[in-house]
Structures are given as C-alpha cells and as structure tokens.
Amino acid sequence: MFKKILIPIDLSHADKLEKAVSTGAYLARQDNIPVVFAAITTTAPGPIAHNPEEFREKLDAFAADSGNRHGIHASGHAVFTHDPAVDLESGILKAVHETGADLVVMATHIPNLADHFWPSNGGRVASHADVSVFLVR
C-alpha cells in the first residue's frame, strides 16, 4: 500500500511522541515498510548536539533504537534550517520529498482556542502535503 513512512521527531521531546512512533511502527510492520524519522533543526549548537554531524549521529541512534524496539527497518533524516520554529512545516515537506515517503505519521495535540486562529503544525503539513498524512493525538 505505502512504500515509505516518515515520522517527524523532535529529539528533545521524543518521549512524548511515542504514540505517533508506535502507530507508525504498527503500520510499517503490516507490509514491511521502511520508516524514516525526520528531524528539523538548525546547524547552530544546541541542547541536543554541538554540530550537524553530532545531531545526525543522535538521530540515527534514535532511529536504530526505535527500529529495534518496534521490529522495523528505520533510519534518520535531518533537515537543517535557520529557524526550525518558522520552517518546521516546510522542513517536513522537504523531508517527504527528499526521502520519497508517501505517508507521514505525525503527532499532534488536542485542538485548543489558538488553533482557531493559527493551525497546528500537523494541520499545516496535512494541508500542504501531496502525500497522505496521519495525525495522531
């Protein structure tokens, strides 16, 4: 059905994204589909990594650990931008095209009042993606 699943991941909040990761892994196991964990970040030193190479290593380690825990083939894909908060949706869409993913499984929050004025990140990705997007609450 699908060829590759992309799961956006924030390494600083990875523990809070387990429901989306488990959902993506479940779908991947059904047809032995590879999963790509995509992270959008900056090249500047931050709390997760001092440089892009260290960030890629940590993302690859997360993907390997998640792959082993869920019994799936997983890899990491980093997208670097000047301002990840502003470029999050475009970074995810860029990762979709760079990896060839045809399904995005993405964590989202329960809508609140602010979402009536500013759509959520997942809502914006779903509105602009040319692939299927599965939002997980």
> What is the per-residue pLDDT across 13-42, written as a single tens digit (0 to 9) for each?
888 899 999 999 999 999 999 999 999 999
Q: How far apart are CA 33 and CA 41, in angstroms?
A: 26
pLDDT single digits (tens) 41-59: 999 999 999 999 999 999 9
With beta carbons less than 8 A apart as the criterion, state whether 135 and 126 touch.
Answer: yes
DSSP state for residue 71 in the 8-state scheme: T
User: What percent of the chain is predicted at pLDDT more than 70?
Assistant: 96
Is the pLDDT at 72 greater than 90, yes or no?
Answer: yes
pTM of the model: 0.93
